A and B are shown apart, each in its own frame.
Chain A
Amino acid sequence: MSTAQSIDVHELAAELTTSRRLLRFATAGSVDDGKSTLVGRLLHDSKSVLSDTLDAVQRTSRARGLDTPDLSLLVDGLRAEREQGITIDVAYRYFATPARTFILADTPGHVQYTRNTVTGASTADLVVILTDARTGVVNQTRRHAAVAALLGVPHLLLAVNKIDLVDYDRRVFEAIAAEFSAYAAELGIPEVTAIPISALHGDNVVTRSGRIEWYTGPSVLEHLENVDLADQSTTGAVRFPVQYVIRPRSDELPDYRGYAGRVTAGTVRPGDEVVVLPSGGRSVVAGIDTADGPRDLARAGESVTLLLADDLDLSRGDLISGVADAPGPVTEFGATITLLADRPLRRGARALLRYGTSTTRVMVTSIEGLLDIDSLSYVPAPEALALNDIAKVTLRTADPLPVEDYRAGGAVGSLLIIEPSDGTTLAAGMVGDRRAALHPHPISKEATA
């Protein structure tokens, strides 16, 4: 290795080990929109593809008679999927730049699009929706945006692909961007960015294209690196579902009783008054413990152990909540659910409900409406819900649960409906009427720039 290369490695190592944050994003697109090529291009041009992987892609491309490597091969599916003609919902990809590290949930576009998009976007900070510049905004584009909105994803990126096939025509791009932004505004999505790209040629994917001089905005990667990650979930009163009770019962710590969990919302400090739900018992946070020593504050997303001043005998499934806006436990509530399994779900169905860390028996007491994803309105519900259906339902539980309205990211207000016999996840749900929670806002001029 030459000296020059050594210096590069030192610099790159320093850059790639700097302090940086994690962005989770999902990609969604219809068949043939070029999503695999875009994802392959992002991985390749951000130098995240390892040399032996790239060698394999080059060999396969040559074997297929291609002059240049087919980057979509980097995200090729499993043999099991090809043999069985199925698509497993989400593939995860990882790459990093000096600015950020990325987890990409790559969702297949064709069959079972709702299930796949819901799963991939459930924890996404941003969703990249691909569309073909020749066809523009199609039903599938609107559906992906609607699903992202229902999940509360704060940022959308519309990648108008194959811009080379419309001769890099500015008017084509602007018309598509305007139509999409108007739709996103109807959905109440706070931020939309549209970018003209050619995934095949790499225009505006990682580096800005010299062929699209009329476009002055960021490339896809630049936008991913700079999109605002300000997180509202750390403000407000704490939510802390108890996962496990830590009791060493040792000679040194005979009376230690810590509640292990992850802060799902808000912040917590020693001295904070809290209420334990559903029992309603009150106490004060006596300490926040971690293996690295005590903390004087814990924020949403952090796994810690809480110590309470009073002996309340909590167990897994309990929720420790700030007193200010603590949810009241109920046994009946409304939810917006998506069917994830290929089994019908009927009114009166009995199953298990997972909410936070608690599991209880549940009955679907009514199905109020089926959400038509194209018109975003409820239509009369069928006798039984089927895979990919999104519906407004009422659930009744055996035990009272401190449910509250779903919040973006799903740390609060998310649930699973589980088949008791074999554990299949039948449906995922969000507490409340998510359709009614979408608030249209006026179109911002900036949004299409």
Chain B
Amino acid sequence: MTLTDTTPTDTTPTDTTPTSTTPTDTVAPAKARATSPHLRTLESEAIHILREVAGQFDRPVILFSAGKDSVLVLHLARKAFHPAPLPFSLLHVDTGHNFPEVLAYRDRVVAEGGLRLQVAHVQDWIDDGRLTERPDGTRNPLQTVPLVDTIAAERFDAVIGGARRDEERSRAKERIFSLRDSFGGWDPRRQRPELWGLYNGRHAPGEHVRVFPLSNWTELDVWNYIEAENIALPEIYYSHQREVFLRNGMWLTPGDWGGPTGREVIVRRTVRYRTVGDMSCTGAVESSATDVRAVIEEIIATRITERGATRADDQLGEAAMEDRKREGYF
């Protein structure tokens, strides 16, 4: 593609003005800011959505896995209600196979921010027989039941997640306010058209609404914003030395969850993670990207979607994600 010079309008520091003479942004920001107008537009849209949640719902909660998208949602939510405390609590469904570095990061963020975190342990559901361990040891699909049970038990009416429409094809039609029945299920017939900035959060008792403030962000937008805002992430997102073994074409981290087995051999590699889910199905990629800028360049170079590359459970079938969404996973 040819590199077209941006027009003067495109290079003004704010996204909405035809003139650049007004001193809008001459107030020195206290810290790094998203400088590209399109990121500022996405930020304002996400803050608007999060404030709608606070205005329309009684018991909202943020799904917080400490993955980069949920970290970004939390960052935006704290900006949205500054200088007041966050009007949302956090919920993490812990598969029991999470990376220790990620759990440590999660607990640090919660402690430092004075946040309220509730953890639903998949292990508890396995122990009392409500869930059965899968033969392959993968627990990602097992998160749905603890999530839906916890939503019902806590009477959460808005469940805020970091899912993006560009992540996967079945997400392209997801709403920003997505209505779920009392089983957490998603019925395409009941989804409401979303026009203008009017998000309709009304629901019947027992139903809830999943809210996706990052719907319109792409993977590249997320990383560019993380760089601009200087947002800290769990360290496994960046290149490091790690003992791994190969299974189904993915570099997995050994652990109590069930690997390596048989002829699988542990080797030392320079890797990083692109998502930070269940250790049994989240693969590392070989990478020397030690900072955000290097990650951005790597994303552009590889052009492989995060989920396709690193989540084993999405490779089960083309419609795997869609099926899990209808079951209430997302």
Give the chain A neighbours of B216 by CB distance below 8 A.
Answer: 92, 94, 103
Chain A interface size range:
35 or more
Report yes or no: B38 in contact with A22, Cβ–Cβ below 8 A: yes
> A residues 396-439 with Cβ under 8 Å of B?
409-411, 414-416, 418, 420-425, 428
Report yes or no: B195 in contact with A122, Cβ–Cβ below 8 A: yes
Report yes or no: B172 in contact with A123, Cβ–Cβ below 8 A: no
Among B15-23, B90-98, B102-110, the one that faces the other chain is B15-23
In the complex, the chain B residue whose C-beta lies closest to that of A46 is: B1
Report yes or no: B33 in contact with A292, Cβ–Cβ below 8 A: yes
Q: Within 8 Å of chain B (Cβ to Cβ): is A18? A: yes
Give the chain B neighbours of A297 by CB distance below 8 A.
Answer: 22-24
- How far apart sit A250 and B84, CA to CA, in the bound complex (Å)? 8
A297 CB to nearest chain B CB (Å): 5
Count A/B pairs, Cβ under 8 Å: 268
- How far apart sit A47 and B44, CA to CA, in the bound complex (Å)? 28
Report yes or no: A299 in contact with B195, Cβ–Cβ below 8 A: no
> A residues 3-48 with Cβ under 8 Å of B?
5, 9-10, 12-13, 15-22, 46-47
Tell me which of A21, A118, A231, A296 has the highest count of chain B C-beta atoms within 10 A of its own C-beta. Answer: A21
> A residues 96-118 with Cβ under 8 Å of B?
96-101, 103, 106, 115, 118
Assess A293 versus B27: contact at CB under 8 Å? Given A19-B35, A260-B80: yes
- How far apart sit A17 and B319, CA to CA, in the bound complex (Å)? 32
Tell me which of A19, A46, A253, A296 has the highest count of chain B C-beta atoms within 10 A of its own C-beta. Answer: A19
B279 CB to nearest chain A CB (Å): 22
A6 CB to nearest chain B CB (Å): 8
A81 CB to nearest chain B CB (Å): 7
B258 CB to nearest chain A CB (Å): 26
Pick the contact of B36: A17, A103, A256 (CB < 8 A). Answer: A17
Give the chain B neighbours of A159 by CB distance below 8 A.
Answer: none
> B residues 28-85 with Cβ under 8 Å of A?
28-31, 33, 35-38, 40-45, 47-48, 51-52, 54-55, 78-85
- How far apart sit A56 and B314, CA to CA, in the bound complex (Å)? 13
In the complex, the chain A residue whose C-beta lies closest to that of B18 is: A230
Report yes or no: A92 in contact with B172, Cβ–Cβ below 8 A: yes
A166 CB to nearest chain B CB (Å): 28
Report yes or no: A118 in contact with B17, Cβ–Cβ below 8 A: no
In the complex, the chain B residue whose C-beta lies closest to that of A293 is: B30
B122 CB to nearest chain A CB (Å): 27
A220 CB to nearest chain B CB (Å): 13
- How far apart sit A99 and B165, CA to CA, in the bound complex (Å)? 22
Assess A78 versus B322: contact at CB under 8 Å? Given A20-B37, A230-B9, A423-B200: yes
Q: How many positions in chain B have a CB within 8 Å of any CB in the partner chain?
A: 92
Report yes or no: B31 in contact with A292, Cβ–Cβ below 8 A: yes
In the complex, the chain B residue whose C-beta lies closest to that of A233 is: B16
In the complex, the chain A residue whose C-beta lies closest to that of B43 is: A303
Give the chain B neighbours of A256 by CB distance below 8 A.
Answer: 83-84
Give the chain B neighbours of A89 by CB distance below 8 A.
Answer: 173, 193
Report yes or no: A18 in contact with B36, Cβ–Cβ below 8 A: yes
B26 CB to nearest chain A CB (Å): 8
B329 CB to nearest chain A CB (Å): 15
A242 CB to nearest chain B CB (Å): 9
Tell me which of B194, B195, B196 has the highest count of chain A C-beta atoms within 10 A of its own C-beta. Answer: B195
In the complex, the chain A residue whose C-beta lies closest to that of B15 is: A21
Report yes or no: B173 in contact with A428, Cβ–Cβ below 8 A: no
In the complex, the chain B residue whose C-beta lies closest to that of A1 is: B301
Report yes or no: A76 in contact with B37, Cβ–Cβ below 8 A: no
In the complex, the chain B residue whose C-beta lies closest to that of A228 is: B9
Give the chain A neighbours of B326 by CB distance below 8 A.
Answer: 80
Report yes or no: A50 in contact with B202, Cβ–Cβ below 8 A: no
Report yes or no: B166 in contact with A94, Cβ–Cβ below 8 A: yes
Q: Within 8 Å of chain A (Cβ to Cβ): is B318? A: yes
B213 CB to nearest chain A CB (Å): 11
- Pairs A–B under 8 Å by Cβ, sample size 29: A9-B300, A13-B296, A20-B6, A20-B38, A21-B37, A47-B303, A51-B302, A53-B305, A75-B172, A86-B189, A92-B173, A98-B6, A99-B6, A101-B218, A230-B9, A231-B17, A231-B18, A243-B51, A244-B51, A256-B84, A260-B81, A292-B31, A301-B15, A301-B41, A305-B82, A414-B196, A416-B195, A423-B202, A425-B200
Q: A5-B301, A119-B194 are in contact. List 9 more A-B contacts (CB 8 A).
A: A19-B36, A21-B38, A75-B172, A78-B188, A79-B322, A123-B196, A295-B24, A299-B14, A415-B198
Chain B interface residues (CB < 8 Å from chain A): 1, 3-4, 6-7, 9-11, 13-18, 22-24, 26-31, 33, 35-38, 40-45, 47-48, 51-52, 54-55, 78-85, 165-166, 169-170, 172-173, 179, 188-198, 200-204, 215-216, 218, 220-221, 224, 293, 296-297, 300-305, 308-309, 318-319, 322, 326
